[in-house]
Chains A and B, each alone.
Chain A
Amino acid sequence: MTREPGSASFPAGSGYSTSEGPMRRAFSSLTRGVWVWYTFLLPPLLLILVFVGYPTLLAFRQSFYTRTPEGQVFAGTYHFERLLTNSIFWGALGNTILLGLAFLAIVIPLATIFASMLNRVRHGATPLKVIYFLPQLTSSVAIAIMFHYVFQPDWGLLNGGLRSIGLSEVPLWLADPRFNLTGSRAAVTVLAVWAGLGYFIIVTLAGLQSIPADLYDAAAIDGATPLQAWFTITLPSLRPTFIFLIMTGTIDALSRFGDLWTLGGPGGAPARSLQSIVMYMFQTGFESNDFSLSAATAVVFFLIVLGVTIIAFWGFLRKEFKAMK
């Protein structure tokens, strides 16, 4: 397993250990001084403090202050109250969560099936992988423009295809803001699955290839059918992969912006059906100049992402701890 979230984001501590020649190294670092390391760290540290740390603190601070011509005025939790009673905010948050859940609920099973087939097929797995991964490299903006036409009700690729197989009543897709399986939300979910499937397949495939082959041999000796082996060996072994994909997939879904903005503008037309939480932040902060409301949204967004990360780590590490016992 090379893609466990733990290994991607946790300090492993391997660099701290000095097993050999501590005396010599201590001497060498004394003679050379420690300043060289500080000069190495200074430029990147400054960049991070100025462009990451400082604006983050500003976002938190702004959510408790109001910008007035006379300067910043403390506002307490006023902006959070404003935010939490704002139906547009809840609509955007609801959309983001709904679209994210629908996306994950479709893409993970689909990717598992395709990855399992790619893992077992004897010919052509490599070119197929390259093709499935192709949309991942295309910007979400370009994909949105393409799908704007694919979903065009009168002559789009999808409805044209549906008509040619004999359907006369074709959906409106992006023009229909209602909550249904043929409306704008369904359309952008199809788009997201189409665009994201390749990444989910490739990661699942790597997970499949890390399952030891002797597990399957043992199951075959016990007389298990390939399907039984898939359910009793493959799926449980993919648990870390699924947790990883759910975590990264959730964070990506929460940050969704480019494709929805291209299709529906900052308001997420039609009828705000495609407005995501980041688009709401963009609209309140950048277009309405309501920086405090935007900052309060940013704080809520930050807490949600952090919560998802912690839950995923907990879900992942819990099993690691059990395995250690």
Chain B
Amino acid sequence: MTETALTAKPATTQRRLPADWRSQATMSVMLVIGAAAMVLPFWWMFATSLSRKANVSMPRTPSFWPADPSFFNYQVATANLPIVQLYANSLLVVGVTTIGYLFFSALAGYAFAKGRFPGKSVLFIIFLATLFIPFETRMIPLYLMMSDLGLTNTYWALILPFLAGGFGTFLMRQTIASIPDELLEAARIDGASEFRIFWQIVLPLCKPTLATLAILNVIWRWNDVLWPLLVTSKRELFTVTQGLALAGRTQGIYTGVALATAVMAILPVIVAYLVLQRYVIRSVVSSGVKG
């Protein structure tokens, strides 16, 4: 068996070499064409956003560099839309929900992984059951609830529903369950409180999972438009994505300005992604959840 493998292997690689070179070249060409198809719309959008003339007439043949590059469209876009305010809103909402989601997921995950108390299975099933309830099922009653509580058009409405969730709890429970009990037991013998063990031993050991969860939550909350559309109607409270969606529907005839708005909304996200791409891709793949 091993003998055949040893003798067969060099033979096949030798035989395949010329064909292999050709297939490598074909694959590279196809992959580069695919990548160009991914980048081209972004680049075209960016180039058009720099053209003042784009608001009046667009060249019939797509141009990938404007004849009249200027930041005019960006000036108009920032005058039309309080982009700094939108960013501040998005950062606040995404920041607070992410911290809350991580904290409560880890806290519940720790209780489910290491705690011993009556009713654990039932409580865990309640948390898990939320995984099977799509947000869309409950969005209208949730909106009515927020409205009854007088929370519409407040940051609370954008934050409160997303502070805890079954997915994060489940992921944290799986991670914390793999921490050896001896480690926690040693701390208990030293007299550390359960919360101190959680804060000083468990959390630092969960950094990779926490990072995954943080990345996913940032993507979810940053890109969400459905919920902000329901609960906020004041411009001062719009998130970036919501502001972009509403601006895109009203200023659509000014191509240059609309695209400049879109560029301002996505450029920071793209830069953050390019810096963190390794972690972002790994988070999405390892958790099996789409961003």
Contact = CB atoms under 8 A, between A and B. Distances in A.
A135 B291 CA distance: 10
Contact of A286 (B9, B140, B177): B140
Contacts of B177: 14-15
B291 A137 contact: yes
A198 B38 contact: yes
Interface stretch (B72-80, B203-211, B278-286): B278-286
A137 B160 contact: no
A7 B261 CA distance: 41
A135 B38 contact: yes
Interface in B30-65: 30-32, 34-35, 37-42, 44-45, 48, 58-62
A154 B255 CA distance: 13
B273 interface: yes
A177 interface: no
Contacts of B281: 129-130, 133, 202
A20 interface: yes
Main SS at interface, chain B: helix
Interface centre among B5, B269, B277 (most CB of A within 10 A): B277
A124 B31 contact: yes
Contacts of A117: 27, 30-31
Interface in B1-37: 4-5, 8-9, 12, 23-24, 27-28, 30-32, 34-35, 37
Contacts of A55: 138-139, 141-142, 145
B223 A3 contact: no
A273 interface: no
B146 to A, nearest CB: 10
Interface centre among A29, A56, A163 (most CB of B within 10 A): A56
Contacts of A29: 116-117
Given A40-B111, A40-B115, A220-B8, A3 B285 contact: yes
Given A5-B288, A155-B58, A157-B40, A134 B169 contact: no
Contacts of A139: 222-223, 225, 241, 244, 265-266, 269
Contacts of B128: 9, 11
Nearest to A265: B249
Main SS at interface, chain A: helix
Nearest to A284: B140
Contacts, number: 334
Contact of A56 (B133, B163, B165, B176): B133
Interface residues of B, number: 118
Interface string B135-178: 11111111111000000000000001101111001100110111
Contacts of B145: 54-55, 58
Contacts of A217: 5, 9
A28 B37 contact: no
Interface of B: 4-5, 8-9, 12, 23-24, 27-28, 30-32, 34-35, 37-42, 44-45, 48, 58-62, 104-105, 107-108, 110-118, 120, 123-124, 126-128, 130-145, 160-161, 163-166, 169-170, 173-174, 176-178, 181-182, 185, 188, 194-195, 198, 219, 222-223, 225-226, 229-230, 241, 244-245, 248-249, 252, 255, 258-259, 261-262, 265-266, 269-270, 273-274, 277, 280-281, 284-291
22 contacts: A15-B174, A20-B182, A32-B194, A37-B115, A37-B194, A40-B194, A40-B195, A44-B127, A48-B166, A52-B138, A121-B31, A124-B28, A128-B32, A128-B35, A160-B61, A199-B291, A202-B281, A261-B245, A262-B249, A278-B226, A295-B141, A302-B134
Nearest first, the 4 A-B pairs at minimum CB distance are: A15-B177, A37-B115, A58-B141, A34-B117
Given A8-B288, A56-B138, A148-B252, 20 more contacts: A29-B116, A45-B123, A58-B144, A121-B28, A128-B32, A129-B281, A132-B35, A133-B280, A134-B38, A139-B269, A142-B241, A145-B244, A146-B45, A156-B62, A157-B41, A160-B59, A163-B60, A197-B38, A252-B290, A305-B137
